[in-house]
A and B are shown apart, each in its own frame.
Chain A
Amino acid sequence: MNSLLLIIVGGVLVNNFVMSKFLGICAFLGVSKKTETALGMGMAVTFVMAIASLFTYLVQHYLLIPLHLEYMQTIAFILIIAVLVQSVEMVLKKTSRSLYLALGVYLPLITTNCAVLGVAINNTTAVEGGYNLIQSVVNGTAGALGFTLAIVAFAAIRERLEIGNMPKWMDGFPGALIGAGLMSIAFQGFSGLIH
């Protein structure tokens, strides 16, 4: 139980994907102009990351390791994620129209969101022998929630900067990057909280 709490705090605050591990930066910079879309992206990532953690765990422990195919991890994982994203999209389309409309547009973008692959690999390397099944899913979900927190807060900041009078030359990526840098300073306070 305690170890799960540590994983959650670690994923959301200490090792925040965006702010300290630089994973999912493309989505973080690209889909953070409006709070609502940022929230949609965050939820879609959370959804996929939780399921991806589950499936990559199963494949790693019941397929790759028994067959001594660990070096195939990258290929196997990215394929799982690609297939997963596709099937989630199809299932949502058939079963929940509203959820599909809310998350659908973000789903294709998630295959190349390196945070998903990052967490799947992290699950196998974070501790000796990798996280167990529950820890993996919790780690994936917590990491995704950390991503959601960062992207939603950042979107709210960008909305405010949008109506302000930031100099023209700061528009777009330079301003977004420097803004993200200032934001990540606040997250540095948590580094060292757990090891």
Chain B
Amino acid sequence: MQRKLVVSSSPHLRNEGVSTRRLMLDVIIALLPTAVASVWFFGGAALNLLLVAVITAVAAEYFYQKLTKQKTTVSDLSAVVTGMLLAFNLPASAPWWIAAIGSVIAIVLVKQMFGGMGQNFMNPALIARTILMLSWASLMAANVLPHAGQWVAAAGADAVASATPLGENPASYSLWQLFSGNIPGMLGETCKLTLILGGIYLLVRGVIDWRIPAAFIGTAFVLFWIYYGTLYSVESGSANVLYQLLSGGLLLGAFFMATDYVTSPVSPWGRVIMGVGCASVLFVIRVYNPSYPEGCSFAILFMNVLTPLIDKLTVPKPFGYVKPAKPGKGA
């Protein structure tokens, strides 16, 4: 499995409905612990958003394909994954319609209009998240305090905006809070424990290649180490390496978004470039750009833009050369 993914080109999933379904099932299994964690920390609101996003994504895919008279492919479960990832990128305070609009954008505008499964050149969930964020910044702010174990937040708690872990005045959180996910943030970003478990599951199952997450996290580690010089200390607030690695969307992005085959390079070196590039752009936006609290989605999207070019430059010659003979085509 691993080898096969390394050598074939990204649109290879197109005609392999069965294997797509199996892969997507693995991704869903890997995402489930984080989904449970998000419901544990953010209660009913998280469950609502997850359901709305997944149902809308599947419905959008189904109706788009019916409307354009195509064979429906909802059973490959990729729309479920897109819906889950989108919900993971929403704050618990987001209204339901934001999740619905996001899912429609992800499925119709980003994926289906460019040819459907395996054809989109940008990550659908990330484009949707970014469009939502650029459209409704205040509704997308990740400043809801988690209320572990409670179905509904204590009265008034939702309304109280707390400092997000990243951004202008970052609050101080202990290492355990950051790791367990007991911090404000997007639904699926906060719990590092379940994200790492899911990531390991995908690595073991051979669904994702280790190079992108390793290069991503490794480069981020080095860059923040050089910049801050401290591994971790409570006094330094957010100005230390571990705080930066464990807050925001870095781990969710490194394991689940940057590794999306369709929008990441094919060759081993291309994947290293992808990881290094994601971390570098993330670093630049977090450290130097005051207009956004978090740069992870922009960083991955920027590398998505460069992916076809990276492929062109790094894929072994006979491959990039004889374009019509690409294995994905008509295989």
Contact = CB atoms under 8 A, between A and B. Distances in A.
B190 to A, nearest CB: 22
A191 interface: yes
B305 A157 contact: yes
A151 to B, nearest CB: 11
Contact of B301 (A35, A178, A185): A185
Contacts of B113: 166-167, 170, 175, 178
Q: Is the interface of B mostly helix, strand, loop or mixed?
A: helix
B301 A186 contact: yes
Interface residues of A, number: 28
A10 to B, nearest CB: 12
B299 interface: yes
A109 to B, nearest CB: 23
Contacts of A35: 309, 312
A13 to B, nearest CB: 9
A188 B315 CA distance: 29
A64 interface: no
A183 B281 CA distance: 15
B131 interface: yes
A31 B324 CA distance: 21
Interface string A155-195: 01101110111110010000100110011011111111100
A170 B284 CA distance: 35
B62 interface: no
Contact of A182 (B11, B116, B127): B127
A166 B288 contact: no
Nearest to B109: A178
A192 B127 contact: no
B18 interface: no
Interface in A91-147: none
B302 A189 contact: yes
A7 interface: no
B289 A190 contact: yes
A140 to B, nearest CB: 24
B86 to A, nearest CB: 15
Given A185-B131, A186-B298, A153 B306 contact: yes
Which of B122, B290, B305 has the largest count of A CB atoms less than 10 A from its CB?
A: B305
A179 B284 CA distance: 25
Contact of A189 (B115, B289, B311): B289
Contacts of A187: 302
Nearest to B288: A193
Contact of A186 (B14, B122, B289, B326): B122
Contacts of A193: 284-285, 288-289, 291
Contacts of A163: 11, 323-324, 326, 329
Contact of B292 (A152, A179, A183, A192): A192
30 contacts: A153-B309, A156-B311, A159-B312, A160-B11, A161-B115, A163-B11, A163-B323, A163-B324, A164-B11, A164-B119, A165-B14, A165-B115, A165-B116, A167-B113, A167-B115, A178-B113, A182-B127, A183-B122, A185-B122, A185-B134, A186-B301, A186-B304, A186-B305, A188-B134, A189-B281, A189-B299, A192-B289, A192-B290, A192-B291, A192-B292
Interface of A: 35, 152-153, 156-157, 159-161, 163-167, 170, 175, 178-179, 182-183, 185-193
Given A157-B121, A163-B326, 13 more contacts: A153-B308, A156-B308, A161-B114, A163-B11, A165-B119, A167-B115, A175-B114, A185-B134, A185-B301, A186-B298, A189-B285, A193-B284, A193-B288
